[in-house]
């Protein structure tokens, strides 16, 4: 244990916190030394996260941020936006590495944060100076290697961006994007609400925040960094789906009429040929949640439509687990990269089938 990296988890009672612990408790180079929370104080990990019963003697503690990170090498922050920014400001000078799962440090534009998150950012200079590295390894792997502070991407942002990134890389993403993405109920958090209450969720489909979801500016910022035209726009409609885990995104984009299936196939191969967690789906099926639920893997694919005037329609599909690659798993993947380890550590196993 003496040579292991000491990790603290701040905000450990949610589903994201549970997934971080499920991975870090078995990480060969990490010792989880402390877990803090604002509820379930004094309870053991397994008393809150039943799947972890008997695997750790750690209990949830309520501590000021500076005390929470005392003696730690890295802090994973699994708290809501707005609350997280205040914690970061308290611990930024402590020397601890930070992996943040909230949306507080993903954007570079403080005005966009205020518009989509409904509050002025308490430390806008940390956005404009890019103090946090955006933790999408498929785009920023080299920057993550050098980072001390990581802003882990949002679940919808990861799903939609990875579905479209081959077009951005190929210079084919220059106009309007129209996306519909369905998400599982665990994305709404561990505390029950009317929209996640089982009798109202299990046999229902409903949209929420149509055209104004907070991940819109994050997606556009990331796609432009990958090569999309500056004028690229996004209309996004999220859908609440009757499944616990997973996101399935369908994105519609127009490309020049001369675009061929072979050209797109090569674009997908060029983008993801060496990515350990990306699966390009072909051969008669399209991406689906059941192939990735419970894992850090992502399925991506596309269909190219017929020529209509000067354009053809490309429909891009992507699927992942919102708690793993869309949340905790990706944060650990970036952490592994930051530390110079194999990024697949504790993440390589497939999901369950069925």
Residues labelled as active-site residues: 155
254 vs 304: CA distance, rounded Å = 10
What the block records as the tokens of 97 is 């590495």
Nearest to 272 by CA among 170, 154, 152, 180: 170
Residues 6+ apart with CB under 8 A from 307: 257
Residue with tokens 């929470």: 68
Under DSSP, the state recorded for 56 is -
d(CA 89, CA 121): 12
Using CA atoms, how far apart are residues 154 and 81, in angstroms rounded to an integer? 11
3-state secondary structure 308-345: ECCEEEEEEEEEECCCHHHHHHHHHHHHHHHHCCCCCC
In the chain, DSSP finds a helix count (H) and a strand count (E) of: 12, 14
The one-character DSSP state at 44 is: B
Name the β-bridge partners of 254: 313
Say if strands 206-207 and 233-240 run parallel, antiparallel, or are unpaired. Answer: antiparallel
CB count, 10 Å around CB of 352? 9
> Could you tell me if 328 and 155 are in contact, meaning their C-beta atoms sit under 8 angstroms apart?
no
Q: Which residues of 66-82 are buried (b: 16+ CB within 10 A; e: fewer)?
A: eebbeebbbbbbbbebe
Contact present, 148 and 301 (Cβ < 8 Å): no
Crossing angle of helices 216-226 and 110-117, in 10° steps, is 140
CA 213, CA 208: separation in Å to the nearest integer?
A: 8
């Amino acid at each position: 244990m003496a040579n292991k990296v000491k990790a603290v988890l701040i905000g450990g009672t949610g589903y994201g916190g549970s997934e971080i612990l499920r991975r870090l408790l078995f990480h060969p180079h990490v010792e989880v030394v402390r877990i803090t929370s604002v509820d379930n104080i004094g309870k053991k990990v397994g008393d809150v996260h039943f799947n972890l019963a008997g695997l750790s003697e750690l209990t949830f503690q309520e501590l000021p941020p500076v005390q929470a990170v005392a003696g730690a090498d890295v802090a994973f922050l699994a708290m809501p936006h707005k609350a997280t920014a205040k914690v970061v400001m308290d611990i930024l000078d402590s020397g601890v590495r930070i992996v943040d799962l909230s949306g507080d440090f993903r954007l570079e534009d403080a005005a966009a944060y205020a518009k989509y998150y409904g509050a002025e950012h308490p430390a806008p200079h940390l956005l404009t100076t890019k103090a946090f590295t955006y933790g999408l390894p498929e785009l920023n792997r080299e920057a993550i290697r050098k980072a001390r502070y990581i802003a882990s991407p949002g679940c919808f942002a990861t799903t939609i961006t990875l579905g479209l990134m081959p077009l951005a890389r190929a210079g084919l993403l220059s106009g309007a994007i129209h996306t519909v993405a369905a998400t599982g109920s665990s994305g709404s958090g561990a505390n029950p609400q009317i929209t996640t209450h089982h009798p109202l969720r299990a046999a229902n489909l409903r949209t929420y925040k149509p055209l104004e979801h907070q991940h819109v500016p994050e997606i556009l910022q990331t796609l432009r960094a990958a090569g999309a035209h500056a004028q690229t726009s996004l209309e996004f409609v999220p859908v609440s789906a009757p499944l616990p885990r997973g996101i399935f995104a369908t994105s519609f984009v127009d490309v020049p009429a001369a675009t061929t299936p072979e050209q797109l196939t090569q674009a997908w191969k060029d983008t993801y040929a060496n990515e350990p967690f990306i699966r390009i789906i072909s051969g008669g099926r399209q991406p689906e949640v059941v192939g990735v639920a419970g894992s850090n893997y992502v399925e991506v694919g596309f269909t190219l439509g017929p020529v209509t005037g000067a354009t053809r329609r490309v429909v891009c599909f992507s699927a992942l687990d919102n708690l793993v690659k869309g949340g905790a798993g990706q944060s650990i993947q970036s952490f592994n990269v930051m530390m110079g380890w194999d990024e697949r550590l504790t993440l390589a196993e497939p999901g369950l089938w069925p």
